Each structure stands twice: as C-alpha cells, then as structure tokens.
A and B are shown apart, each in its own frame.
Chain A
C-alpha cells in the first residue's frame, strides 16, 4: 500500500495548491496562465526536453499527434462525459466527421479555413442528429448507441467509394502560412504544433466559460440527478443536446487539426472504436470534469507508449495493468475536480455507482481529502 500512501500524500500537496489557487488574486492567475503558455510555446518543444521525453520518435510530431490531438479530443469528450455526465463511447465519430469534411471539401477545391468552418458545422449538426433521437435513453443504452454511431461512421467511410473507401483521401489541404509558420515543411511539424496549441487554448477558454455559466450549473445538476434537475425546472434534454453539440464541435475541430497534418492523409482505420475508448480513458484517468486533470491524463496516455517504445509489445500489456491499478488506487483520477470528489463521497460519483455496492462494515469509507 506504499503507492497508495504516496498518492494520498501527493493529494495533500495538491490540496494546498488548490486552496492557494482558489484564493489567489486575478493577476496571479493570469501570470500563471502566461507562464504556462510561454512554457508550452518556448520550452516544451525544444531539443533538451525532446531527448528526455521522446528518445525514439520525433518529439514535435509526437507533441502534435498523438499528444495534442488526444488533449483536444479529451477536452471535447470531457464536456460530454465529465461535465454533462453522458457516457459517450463513440466520440471518435465526430473526429472522423471533422477530418473527412476537410478532406472531401478540400478535394473539391475549398480553401483550408473554409473547410474548417464547414467541418465544425457538419460535426455539430451530426452531434444534434445523433443526440436528438438518442438522448432520451438512459446511461448505458446511450453508451451502446454512441458506440454504434462511431462504428457506423467508420464503416460507411470504408464502404463509400466517393470518399475514398479503405484507401482514404490523400493530399489534404494545408493551412496557408501565417505568423512565419510554414505548414508545407513535412520534415518539421512545429507549425502544426503551434496550431494545435492555439486550438487547445481556445477550447479551454470555451469550456471554462461554459462551466461557469448557467449551462455549467445545469450540466452539473443533470449529472448528479437528472430527475431532480428536471423537477427543478432544468430543461434537461435541451442541455444534454447542447453538451453533445459543443462536444461534437470540439471533436470535429480535432479532426481538422489532424487533417491539415504533416501526413496529409486519412483513412477509415484512423478512427477505430478503440480510439473512443482511449479518449474516455484519458478523461477518467486524468480526472473527469476537471480541465487540468483531463489535459494531464491525455498527455500521459498519449505520451507513455511513445516514451516506453523500447518495451515493444509489452508496453500495451503494462498500459492495461496501469489502468487497472490506477483505478483501484485512485478511482477519481489523477486530478479530480473537487465538486466531483464531493459527489463521490456521497457515493454516486456523478455517473452512478455500481449496483451491488453497499456500505457494510467491511466497506471502507471512501478516502477523500478536502472539504
């Protein structure tokens, strides 16, 4: 149980940091944001960091894809799962829709930014199309329907000659050069890295604004007790649909980020179910509902297999074992949101608890720090 003690000790430290953060004045917060951004832009992609973080793959390419892409997807899924509490097992569908929109429209001669706008619109509409008939379903029924939707999108892409079937689409449009960034240099992915950093910042801002608004409170209410929320006059269906809408748009945005990538190539097998599952893992592993946690989770999940490349096949076996151990030791994730911790203490964890879990004398009270 050493690991457990270490982790709880660390959570004590993180609690102190959070208390300080909660009381910190505005300028301090902005200073921290600025420092973080400077770190991400100037320190993270440098050679010195690369040799430690990624001795076997190109670090800047890895930072963009999978790390940046995973973070973006996890932020999008976090809106659906973490904030509104809807279990979505087919999030990769929106990623695919975004990517394919850019690919198909780009082939028709649209400029890159035009395809991005269209991709966001198409992804958001598909979020509505999926959500409208299915959001009345509860919990796990929604999970299997979203899983099915993800598979349907992939198989339709694979079976449709117009969009390149299994052979995919090549030569996707690239963003025009801007701010001295050259998106045509295939040997250097830094332009794409900065592009995805900008996208991530944008999505963080939107997520935070939404979460602090009436919408965020409505989502929290739905997540904790949908019936109660409905009784209190929250139009739950509307807000659930909104979560799908925003989440789908972020997924689509990630798709456009991948599209304009160095590879300039997509094919249906880039969007398997297992990617949906992995993104869900990122969200829960990091701390569902908490944006820094989700980012950390996605970073770790995307980065670990690259860092431990020398383990060859065995890295995925270890990855599986790490997931199980992590959930046993710290089921609320690395950096859970405090609100969610409180919900967990009440025993629901925001997504309902397992059925046959009863407080008997043998059942230890959940160890939770904080208030």
Chain B
C-alpha cells in the first residue's frame, strides 16, 4: 500500500493539479456571486456547459480543426477559442442574472427563493441544450449523447518530475488557470470597478450611499464569473475533449465544494480550494480506489470545516487585499 503511494504519488499530483485548475476556475464564479449576493448560483454549472459548447462550436463549425496545432498557431487558436467561450459564458451569466435573479432582488425575495430560481434555470438550460441547441448546432439527432471535440493540443511529453510524465496539455491548463486567476485578482483589487465589487460585498447599503451602482456591480460580477467559467470550459475541452448537456453538473458540485473549502467569497481561496480538492481526490484514490474519490473529497470538506468553519483561508471577498 505504502509502496503504491510512493509509486503513484507524483503522477497523481500532476493529474490532481490539472483537474484542480479547472475546479478552481469554476469555483471563482461561485465565490464572486456568493461574495456579492450571498447566493449559491446553482446555474453556474450550466454557464460552464455553455462555454464548452461554444468552444466546440468554434473548433468544429467555425474552424473545422482536424489536427492538433503547434507553437504560436496553437496559442493563437487557444486564445481565440477562449475569447469566444468567455463571451458566450459571460453573456449567458449576465442574461441569467437579468432574467432569473434581478426580479427577485428587486422584490427583496429570500435567498431560498433565489436558490429555487437558480435550480429552475439550471433545469431549463440543460434541457434546452439537450433538446435544441446541441442537436441543431452540430446536426446530432441524439442530443443527450456526449459530443467529442477534436484534439487541439498534442499530448507531447515535456519533462518528468520524479518519474511522473508532464505533458504539454497539463502545463497549458495549469498555467492558463493561474494566469487568469492572477488577472482577476488584480482586477478586483486594483480597478475602480473592482473596488465597487469589494465595497458591495462588504456593505451594500453604504456602497449605494457612496455612489456605487449596485446593478452595474452585480452585472460585472456575473460577467467576470461567467468569463472565468468560459476559460475553464476551454481548458476542460482541451484536456478531456468532450462535452455533453449535463457536463457541468458534477464539476459544478465539485467546484462549489472547492469554493467552500478555500473559503467562499475569497478569490485566492477558490484557487487554493480547487487545487487542494483535485489533489486530495487523486491522492485518496491511490489508497481507496477511484470509486471513493467523491467520498474522500466531501469527508475532507467536513473535517476542515469543523476546524476552520469558514474554510481554509476564511477571508471573504470584501477583505481580500492586494
């Protein structure tokens, strides 16, 4: 058993960091919306799903990619797909806010009502994509089947660490996630809009008195969270090369767990929580078998919350400092 752990530790670490990077990017959306609205945006997983479909559309319908790209062509292609997916996911997130949450906000409805509205929106979007969007966009009559995505990044071995192979796709996913997160962190901490977001998260009443336009702030929050889900979607498509109408569901639950683990409302917490969750799952699987991954993840969550009731970093968005 210990021997297995030593043999499999580094390969598991590489796998855990890769999937953790995707968790972290999705977790950002949960964490930002939670920070500002105190709302579990249950439909965020569908925002992610929309990003994967947009990425697939770009790859197969706009560019008809048939073989992997290399060098600058690859980077350019990736940036292009990201732009499309970020626009699609960000736009969808803003639309979701306008349709499903803003009316409730204006009425002063309870967060519970907003949660139900989110669940409803999630149902609606999944079914809409299974029944109409995926069949029509890709000419696939069976819209509930998963759709494969052509390979964009070749599985080239770059180097080894302690016997574990690190491939190009791993490096791209991890680096892209960290870069996006640093950019977002800087945006929230350095810009005027970012200050507005932090002020609203801290105290909405005072923020309004100080001249912050709440609606703009909420819209920006959804836009940013959605765009991060779009980046996550592209990285997911690069790494796992598929999408399906309910692809967001499991990842969404995991990402939300990651957000809570790191400290919900905290951007750096989302990063930490995502990577931690990916690593814990993969390390735990060495001992217990892959079928116990989710149990391991949730058990660790409960244990950590018992000792740190607000997550590992515990801070919230309003207190995040540069």
Chain A residues proximal to chain B, CB less than 8 Å: 81, 87, 133-134, 136-138, 140-141, 143-145, 147-149, 151-152, 155-156, 158-159, 273, 277, 280-281, 284-285, 288, 313-314, 316-317, 319-324, 326-328, 331-333, 344, 347-360, 362-364, 366-367
Contacts and interface: CB of A to CB of B under 8 A. Distances in A.
Given A134-B305, A331-B110, A352 B38 contact: yes
The 10 closest A-B pairs by CB, nearest first: A323-B120, A349-B110, A320-B123, A320-B124, A148-B298, A331-B109, A317-B127, A331-B113, A327-B117, A355-B38
Given A313-B130, A354-B38, A320 B120 contact: yes
B112 A351 contact: yes
Nearest to A277: B119
B217 to A, nearest CB: 7
Given A140-B264, A363-B108, A284 B116 contact: yes
B112 A81 contact: yes
Nearest to B120: A323
B119 A155 contact: no
Interface in B41-83: none
Contacts of B257: 144, 148
B100 interface: yes
Given A155-B291, A332-B109, 4 more contacts: A145-B301, A285-B116, A313-B130, A354-B111
Contacts of A324: 99-100, 117, 120-121, 124
Interface residues of B, number: 63
Contact of A349 (B106, B109, B201, B217): B109
Interface of B: 34-40, 99-101, 103-117, 119-128, 130-131, 200-201, 204-205, 208, 214, 217-218, 253, 256-257, 260, 264, 291-292, 294-295, 297-299, 301-302, 305-306, 309-310
B120 A358 contact: no
Contacts, number: 201
Contacts of A333: 113
B contacts with A: majority SS = helix
A327 B105 contact: no
B110 A355 contact: no
Most chain B beta carbons < 10 A, residue from A140, A326, A327: A327
Given A277-B119, A332-B113, A353 B298 contact: no
Contacts of A326: 120
